[in-house]
Amino acid sequence: MLPTMADIEVARQRVTAHVWRTPLVRLDPMRTELFAQNTEIYLKLENLQSIGAFKIRGAAAVVGDLAPEDLARGLVTASAGNMAQAVAHLAREMGVPCTVLVPNFAPETKVAANERLGAHVIRVTYEQWWQAFHDRVFPGAEGTFVHAFDDPRVMAGNATIALEILEDLPDVAAIVTPWGGGGLTCGVASALATAKPSCRVVAAEVAGAAPYAAAVEAGRPVEIEYKPSFVDGIGSRSVFPDMFKWARMLGVQSAVASVDEVAAALLLTAERNHVIAEGAGACPVACAIAGRAGGGKVVCVVSGGNIDLEEVALLVATYRKKLES
């Protein structure tokens, strides 16, 4: 089920001790010629959370709701990196063990961060990793499973982002979120459905890893040919049927950026706003700059900043001349 506004307010109380209220800043206001006419783009800087990503919100909402005996069993999650860090961070704070399942394409910077937080990391194939989301268990991983997106408590925790945006920018016209599993997008859309129904919600994906866009076009979840890129925090072969159902019910729009556009957006936020975003965090910015989120005041959720500095340097070397030409 989707979270209600009452659920979201409860989640806000549960996450307060673990979550920072992140700033909302305007993207490069000195170069508005880059953007579509009558468009202002803002950045919700979730990359500044303690773990470098918004995932701490949903994880804290779930952990805060666990019975003592369930928490004592330890925590288990499946994640490409950021949800794993959130759960590992909370497990360390609570003094309980944590196991994380990471796919074999997970960036080493995220895997290392999980290990520093004391998590037991199990590397699995993509198929095993995706199946764990369906089964909510994994052979040999003992503990209470914390789902990365398909949980109303997770969505309620993520929805607190929308409440903060509305308080800081009441006349926001659209909020653009990266679509990974859909928990962030559906959480934000759930809050707006009550608090500001006129505000558009746009799910941003990268070309080659855009299952939500494919499902919207087909009218149902379909499997795509997944093409990995440096945009590692989002994208999969298909969408969860329930998440697709909720997103369509909430009127979530679809936008897709090319890998080159995401790289350009990442470099722009770094150079002009001094913000380091990972690929998933830059994807909403790329879609907004291209005008795919519509006009007015558009807020892009910079979902995380957990990217190798070597990767940033490579992107600069690869794309700088291309962007200047």
| Residue 197: predicted pLDDT | 98
CA–CA separation, 46 and 30 (whole Å): 23
| Residue 269: predicted pLDDT | 93
Residue 186's contacts (CB-CB under 8 Å, 6 or more residues apart) are 2, 155, 243, 246, 247, 250, 252
| Residue 322: predicted pLDDT | 66
Answer whether 297's CB lies under 8 Å from 25's CB: no
Q: The tokens of 168 are what?
A: 């800081």
User: Nearest-5° angle of CA 51, CA 57, CA 58?
Assistant: 115
| Residue 72: predicted pLDDT | 95
pLDDT in tens, 46-105: 999 999 999 999 999 999 999 999 999 999 999 878 899 999 999 999 999 999 998 887
Domains present along the chain, CATH in parentheses: 5-54+152-324 (3.40.50.1100), 55-145 (3.40.50.1100)
pLDDT in tens, 265-274: 999 999 889 9
Query: pTM for the full model?
Result: 0.93
Q: Which regions in the chain score pLDDT beneath 50?
A: none
